[in-house]
Amino acid sequence: MRYRTPRREHCVFLTLGLLVVGSLRLLAGPGKPLILQEMTWTDVENYLKTSDMVIIPLGSTEQHGPHLPLGTDWLNALEMAKMISARTGVAVAPAVQVGYSVHHSGFPGTLSLKPETLEQVLYETTEMLLKSGFKRILFFNMHGGNVVPQNAAIFRINQNLAAMAVAIGAGSDIQKGMGQVPGVWFDEHAGVGETSIGLFLWPELVHMDRAEKPEIHFSVRIQELMALLKQYPQLAALSGALMAVPEETKKGGSSRELTSNGVWSSGDPKTATRELGEKMVNQQVENAVNFIEAWKLAKN
């Protein structure tokens, strides 16, 4: 077949076609997060025509050492929820900025709700979301103290309401193994990991000049259990009974008793890096996005 030079109109159509394809590729990429407080009621009405999902970030307002802000957990949850929203198109509906943090109350500025109060707030928030038409509720939690009240709320929601609720943040099944810092055996709070995440998500609030390695003071009872863990790893189930508990329990597990400056880590926060924070954030966001996209395949 002999090659023929394309006619002018064919070239125009080809060019337009390439422009359309390029535009579709741009639209398929990360978009702008949808934040409920920034939407009008008509925006929400239109959103609900195509989706019944909503992400609820959960965090805390509590001490995070001398170098991180009190709102670290809340900022992490919100910023990651926004990243998930931008990639999935699922709306974000923040509920509360205070969690269960009484074990940090030895340091100024810490706020806390009772577990049953937080559970009720999440339940009642879901009731109202359901009334609007949101039926699939995704809690994205970034504070360990919220896990129990969050899960209690999820149980009540699933047992009593037409909505379906699930945890997709820290402490959930889809995030198992996340948050561990290579080479640091103990890094639970305001340590290398959270400092690195802060350097990635909101570096202007991180005071690296104030970061310092803490002195950790484990009680005799905690030390005894740690000594037995290698031989009897099942004893790790007792950690929640001895650590991150109020000072009034007299177990030596409150923040003020465990650490000299509020940092729970055997590592040095000064070694935190933006690169590590980016990796940790992207892993958790990716896990949540994959879960959401899989759930979208279910019609109901």
Mutual angle of helices 274-296 and 192-201, in 10-degree steps = 80
* DSSP one-letter code for 183: T
d(CA 26, CA 21): 9
Mean pLDDT computed over every residue of the chain: 91
Look-up: residue for tokens 């047992």? 159
Angle at 147 between CA 142 and CA 149, to 5 degrees: 125
| φ, ψ of residue 3 in degrees (nearest 5) | -70, 135
- Mean pLDDT calculated for residue range 239-252: 94
pLDDT range class, residue 30, cuts 50, 70, 90? low
| φ, ψ of residue 9 in degrees (nearest 5) | -70, -30
Write out pLDDT tens, residues 187-231.
999 999 999 999 999 999 999 999 999 999 999 999 999 999 989
pLDDT range class, residue 11, cuts 50, 70, 90? very low
**How confident is the model at residue 26, as a pLDDT?**
33
pTM, rounded to two decimals: 0.88
Half-sphere exposure of 109 (CA within 13 A, CB side): 13
- The residues that bridge with 64 in the sheet, in sequence order, are 68
Tell how strand 264-265 and strand 164-167 pair up: unpaired
Length of the chain: 300
Half-sphere exposure of 64 (CA within 13 A, CB side): 31
Half-sphere exposure of 206 (CA within 13 A, CB side): 25
Write out pLDDT tens, residues 128-184.
999 999 999 999 999 999 999 999 999 999 999 999 999 999 989 999 988 889 999
**How confident is the model at residue 299, as a pLDDT?**
78
Domain architecture of the chain: domains with CATH? 32-182+282-295 (3.40.50.10310)
Burial category of 21 from C-beta neighbours within 10 Å (exposed 0-12, middle 13-18, buried 19 and up): exposed
Among residues 171, 99, 119, 169, the alpha carbon closest in space to that of 140 is found at 169
Write out pLDDT tens, residues 81-135.
999 999 999 999 988 999 999 999 999 999 999 999 999 999 999 999 999 999 9
Q: What six digits make up the tokens of 180?
A: 């561990």
